[in-house]
């Protein structure tokens, strides 16, 4: 019997892209600390190896510190932040549940889409992009819609808005409603107090405030949220993200569920150790101080921020594109001439803003000066 081997070598690209790195000043990912990159390069071990199980315990404890929570069900999901985002809804939404989403940007709309896919009766309240909800508006909406879950974005990556959350958890509890909060662009860099604020469900990512490459999605559930999951009349519709199954892998049983991404878990553990070594309050202070330096520098360049200073994220700044300038052309020039990435606007803000991130390893005074100097040059007529 003759075996024919297809020669694919002639179809291979004659050249390949050489990845040399770039300054990442966009909405994420951000540059990673060399210690994190070194951790990623360690040899993988088995996902049930005793040393890896110990590492899992460390990561869970460190995540609780970063979020300021004692929730037992706190894990790094094997997937990006979007996987952790979906996990919050997959585990707690049953068909017919009223889910109220407070939409004030692109990722509020994503919550609407995801909740609908799990059969929720989705209701939404909206604010113009760049603004925040006040407590009275949210309280009235809860009273009217009587949701099982209220979902809101703490740090809206599309607008650079930091949503105040104090007092909202108390209102949700008084109305037998779970509070779900997106902390993708705030975890590790912006003050968050999950337990103090009464937050029941939250998710984040590894590549922003934690300064780690993308691929891990921090996730947490309060005991109230776990109770709702355990009392479901139907199975969780997503097997891979089912916390009733994953709890046996991340809990005391250590029962096999899936093959965890070993090296990404090395990386996120190292990122969390770096955060703990710095101290969470010091990290919050560092991000705020560097953001304020950026805002002052942008103002000196004649640029205007979209969001009122009282509600600006220190991690992500939206800058209005001056009349007559092409947002994409300026961003492209910055990338080609200075090897720096900044983000463009999403959705309603497409072409109207740039999104500048100072997160994790990149939130340093020298990085602010470097970015401002390059912006000054590319903005010259």
The domain boundary, picked from 276, 302, 331, lies at: 276
Residues 348 and 267 in one domain: no
Look at the pTM and tell me if it is higher than 0.85.
yes
Cross-strand bridge partners of residue 82: none
Q: Are residues 270 and 291 in the same domain?
A: no
pLDDT of residue 275: 98
Tokens of 129: 């992009």
* Cα–Cα distance measured from residue 200 to residue 372, given in angstroms and rounded to the nearest whole number: 39
Q: Assess whether pLDDT exceeds 90 at residue 287.
A: yes
Q: What is the pLDDT of residue 7?
A: 60
Task: Collapse the DSSP code of 81 into the 3-class scheme (helix H, G, I; strand E, B; otherwise coil) and give the result.
Answer: helix
- Is residue 4 in some structural domain? no
The whole-angstrom distance between residue 296's C-alpha and the CA centroid of its chain comes to 26
Shared-domain flag, residues 267 and 322: no
Instruction: Name residues whose C-beta falls within 8 Å of residue 136's C-beta, 6 or more positions apart in sequence.
Output: none
Q: How far is CA 219 from CA 183, 200, 261, 360, 381, in A?
A: 10, 11, 16, 19, 46
Domain membership of residue 205 (yes or no) is yes
55 in the same domain as 138: yes
The position carrying tokens 């707690």 is 92
Provide the CA 100 distance to its chain's centre, in angstroms: 20
Indicate whether 183 and 307 sit together in one domain. Answer: no
Q: For residues 222 and 298, state if they share a domain.
A: no
pLDDT tens-digit series, residues 31-89: 999 999 999 999 999 999 999 999 999 999 999 999 999 999 999 999 999 999 999 99
* Euclidean distance between CA atoms 272 and 192, whole angstroms: 15
pLDDT in the model for residue 52: 93
Is 371 domain-assigned?
Answer: yes
Identify the pLDDT of residue 252.
Answer: 87
Closest listed residue to residue 298, CA positions, set 342, 336, 335: 342
- The pair of structure tokens assigned to 310 is 């009282």
> What are the φ/ψ torsions at residue 178 (nearest 5 degrees)?
-80, 140
Percentage above 90 pLDDT, the chain: 93
Q: pLDDT digit string (tens) for 355-378?
A: 999 999 999 999 999 999 999 999
pLDDT-based confidence at residue 16 (cuts at 50, 70, 90): confident
Is the per-residue pLDDT at 150 higher than 70?
yes
* Same domain flag for 223 and 313: no
Over residues 107-128, the mean pLDDT reads 97
Q: What CATH number did the domain enclosing 234 receive?
A: 3.40.640.10
Element (H, E) at 228: helix 223-230
Residue pair 60/219 in contact (Cβ under 8 Å)? The answer is: no
247 in the same domain as 168: yes
What is the pLDDT at residue 17?
74
At a CB cut-off of 8 Å and minimum separation 6, what does 188 contact?
Answer: 66, 208, 209, 210, 211, 271, 275, 280, 283, 360
The DSSP annotation for 202-219 comes to EE--SSSTT---S-EEEE
* Residues 214, 126 share a domain: yes
Over the stretch 188-240, which tens digit does the pLDDT of each residue have?
Answer: 999 999 999 999 999 999 999 999 999 999 999 999 999 999 999 999 999 99
Instruction: Note whether 234 and 258 are same-domain residues.
Output: yes
pLDDT at 262 over 60: yes
Tell me: pLDDT of 5 over 90. no
Domain region containing 239? 34-276
Dist CA 378 CA 117 (whole Å): 44
Query: Which residue, of 217, 242, 276, is where some domain finishes?
Result: 276
The mean pLDDT value of the chain amounts to: 95
For the record, the structure tokens of 367 come out as: 């990085």
Residues 204 and 215 in one domain: yes
Decide: residue 285, CB within 10 A, 0-12 exposed, 13-18 middle, 19+ buried: middle
Question: Does 178 map to a domain?
Answer: yes
**Do 327 and 218 fall within a single domain?**
no
Tell me, yes or no, whether 310 lies in a domain: yes
261 close to 255: Cβ distance less than 8 angstroms: no
Going by C-alpha positions, the residue among 212, 354, 4 that lies closest to residue 204 is 212
Q: What is the pLDDT of residues 164-188, one digit of tens each?
A: 999 999 999 999 999 999 999 999 9
* Intra-chain end-to-end CA distance of the chain, in Å: 71
Taking each helix axis as running N to C, give the angle between helix 223-230 and helix 243-250, from 0 to 180 degrees, rounded to the nearest 10: 120
For the stretch 290-349, pLDDT in tens is 999 999 999 999 999 999 999 999 999 999 999 999 999 999 999 999 999 999 999 999
Q: Which of residues 276, 293, 316 is at a domain's end?
A: 276
73-78 and 343-344 beta bridge pairing: unpaired
Integer angstrom CA distances of residue 3 from 6, 7, 123: 10, 12, 61
- Number of separate domains in the chain: 2
Q: Which residues lie below 8 Å from residue 160, measured CB to CB, with a gap of 6+?
A: 130, 305, 306, 307, 312, 313, 316, 317, 318, 355
């Amino acid at each position: 019997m003759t075996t024919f081997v297809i020669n694919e070598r002639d179809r291979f690209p004659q050249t390949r892209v050489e990845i040399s790195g770039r300054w990442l000043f966009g909405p994420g990912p951000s540059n990673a600390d060399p210690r994190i990159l070194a951790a990623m390069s360690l040899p993988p071990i088995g996902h049930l190896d005793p040393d890896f199980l110990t590492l899992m315990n460390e990561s869970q404890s460190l995540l609780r510190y970063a979020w300021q929570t004692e929730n037992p069900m706190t894990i790094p999901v094997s997937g990006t932040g979007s996987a952790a985002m979906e996990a919050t809804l997959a585990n707690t939404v049953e068909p017919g549940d009223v889910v109220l989403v407070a939409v004030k940007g692109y990722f509020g709309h994503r919550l609407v889409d995801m909740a609908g896919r799990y059969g929720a009766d989705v209701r939404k309240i909206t604010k113009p992009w760049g603004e925040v909800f006040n407590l009275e508006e949210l309280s009235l909406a809860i009273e009217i819609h009587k949701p099982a879950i209220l979902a809101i974005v703490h740090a809206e990556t599309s607008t650079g808005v930091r949503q105040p959350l104090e007092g909202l958890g108390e209102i949700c509890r008084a109305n037998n409603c779970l509070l779900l909060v997106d902390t993708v662009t705030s975890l590790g860099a912006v003050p968050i107090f999950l337990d103090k604020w009464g937050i029941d469900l939250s998710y984040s990512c590894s590549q922003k405030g934690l300064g780690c490459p993308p691929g891990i999605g921090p996730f947490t559930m309060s005991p109230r949220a776990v109770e709702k999951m355990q009392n479901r009349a139907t199975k969780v519709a997503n097997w891979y993200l089912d916390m009733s199954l994953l709890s046996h892998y991340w809990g005391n049983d250590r029962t096999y569920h899936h093959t965890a991404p070993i090296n990404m878990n090395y990386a996120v553990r190292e990122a969390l150790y770096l955060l703990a070594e710095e101290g969470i309050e010091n990290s919050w202070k560092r991000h705020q101080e560097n953001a304020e330096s950026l805002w002052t520098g942008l103002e000196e360049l004649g640029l205007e921020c979209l969001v009122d200073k009282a509600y600006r994220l220190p991690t992500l700044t939206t800058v209005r594109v001056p009349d007559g300038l092409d947002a994409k052309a300026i961003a492209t020039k910055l990338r080609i001439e200075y090897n720096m990435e900044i983000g463009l606007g999403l959705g309603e803000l497409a072409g109207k803003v740039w999104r500048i991130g100072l997160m994790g390893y990149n939130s340093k005074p020298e990085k602010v000066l470097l970015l401002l100097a390059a912006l000054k040059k590319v903005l010259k007529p």
